[in-house]
Amino acid sequence: MSDVMIDARDLTKLYGTVAALRNASFQVNRGEVVGFLGPNGAGKTTTMKILTCFIAPSGGTAQVGGADIFEDPIAVRELIGYLPENTPLYTEMLVLEYLQFVGKMRGLRGAGLEARLRRVVEETSLGDVIGKSIGELSKGFRQRVGLAQALIHEPPVLILDEPMSGLDPNQASEIRELIREIGRERTIILSTHNLAEVRVTCGRVLIISQGQLVADDTPDELAARAGKPRFIATLKQNGHSASEIREVFSVIGDAQSVKERTGAAPGELLVEVVPKGNQDLRAEIFQAAVSAKLVLLGLEQRGENLEDIFRQLTTGNGGASS
């Protein structure tokens, strides 16, 4: 059995002379949680709608679990659970009624339907509101209902379009944790323009800009590719001035710049060392601190901020973070 669950090849979508999507090709393997990242209007939702057979591409094709979106769209729909950006809920229905309705639309009946209802209610923590009208629920619980309907037929692939849109920070954190749990057993594409979601939820990132894929990497690999590493040393001040401590690390041959950073605790100093290239300077920083009899409390490597990388790839701008 192939590990490739989604195989998109040269997907293009034209609206007149405007290309919402142009020659997008990517694969998503079994068990991956992939962030589909891009600014508003970049082509994320268009791609999601093509993969779920809501719209047809103008060019190219895609397979989901080996089923082609043109040749066998019914099979594709059976393999996918889809949560669109604006969750289509019947607000006058009770949560239980709605999930029963969706389950029957998916072909579930009798004991099989009841078993799936129990499972998705447990997965999405809807037990306390199962007898309430959907219209009474908070936005966070409505998103949970939306996830439950996407999961009711136990699909191996989930496609989530802006699942945290409109949620407050607490609600977003809860849904994010829920997606991480669900992702342990399924392949997930999470479309978003929110960088925080990508960092904590996804193991891989596809970045789209103006209808074209411009990056396909892990968040860490993107950081390593797009910017120099930075090394942050936390030191006890012990009567030393900031300039004295900076001078200690300035003698490192491969250091391009050394500067003090803000945010240090009382009695401590934070020093940032940036290499000339992509060298790992941790050993040199440690040796310099020992030779100068400085107390090194911590040393970490950081990459370019994902926000900066996103700006570089989608606008051509962006700079080193502070």
What average pLDDT does the structure give for the chain? 88
The answer on 232 and 176 residing in a single domain is: no
- Asked whether residue 318 is assigned to any structural domain, the reply reads no
User: Tell me: the pLDDT tens digits for 135-172?
Assistant: 999 989 999 999 999 999 999 999 998 888 778 888 88
Buried/exposed code over 218-230 (b: 16+ C-beta within 10 A; e: otherwise): ebeebbeebbbbb
Cβ burial of 236 (10 Å; 0-12, 13-18, 19+) is middle
Q: What percent of the chain has pLDDT over 70?
A: 93
pLDDT tens, residue by residue, 83-108: 988 877 999 999 999 999 999 999 99
The partner residues of 303 in beta bridges, in order of sequence, read none
Instruction: Provide the token pair at 136.
Output: 């009474």
- Among 25-39, 45-59, 122-136, 156-170, the least confident range: 156-170
| Helix residue ranges per DSSP H, 251-305 | 282-291
Q: DSSP per residue over 203-224, as a string?
A: SEEEEEETTEEEEEE-HHHHHH
Regarding pTM above 0.75, the answer is no
Residues of the chain with pLDDT > 90, as a percent, come to 59
| Residue that the structure tokens 């300039």 belong to | 243
Supply the range of the domain harboring residue 52.
4-224
Are 256 and 275 in contact by the 8 Å Cβ rule? The answer is: yes
How far is the C-alpha of 120 from the C-alpha of 155, rounded, in Å?
12
Query: Residue 322 pLDDT > 70, yes or no?
Result: no
Q: How many domains does the chain have?
A: 2
Q: What pLDDT does residue 228 have?
A: 67
The pLDDT value given to residue 319: 40
303 pLDDT higher than 70: no
- State yes or no: pLDDT of 211 exceeds 60: yes
Mean pLDDT of 12-21: 95
Determine the average pLDDT of the residues in 175-192. 87
Q: Does any domain span residue 320?
A: no
Domain edge (last residue) among 192, 224, 256: 224
For residue 284, what pLDDT is reported?
94
DSSP, residue by residue, 36-58: EE--TTSSHHHHHHHHTTSS--S
Cβ neighbours around 277 below 10 Å, total? 8
* pLDDT tens track for 33-49: 999 998 888 999 999 99
Quick check: is 317 in a domain? no
Helices (H), 183-317: 195-201, 219-226, 242-250, 282-291, 306-315
User: In this model, does residue 317 exceed pLDDT 70?
Assistant: no
Residue 105 lies inside a defined structural domain of this protein: yes
- 176, 267: one domain: no
Check if the beta carbon of residue 64 is closer than 8 Å to that of residue 80: yes
CATH label of the domain that carries residue 87: 3.40.50.300
Residue from 121, 8, 118 nearest 59 by CA: 8
Residue 310 lies in a domain: no
Instruction: State the Cα–Cα distance between residues 206 and 213, nearest whole angstrom.
Output: 7
Please report whether residue 309 resides in a domain.
Answer: no
Reply yes or no on whether the pLDDT at 320 is more than 50.
Answer: no
Q: What is the structure's pLDDT at 198?
A: 81
Residue 88 and residue 237 share a domain: no
Of how many residues is the chain composed?
Answer: 322
Nearest in space to 204 (alpha carbons), one of 193, 188, 182: 188
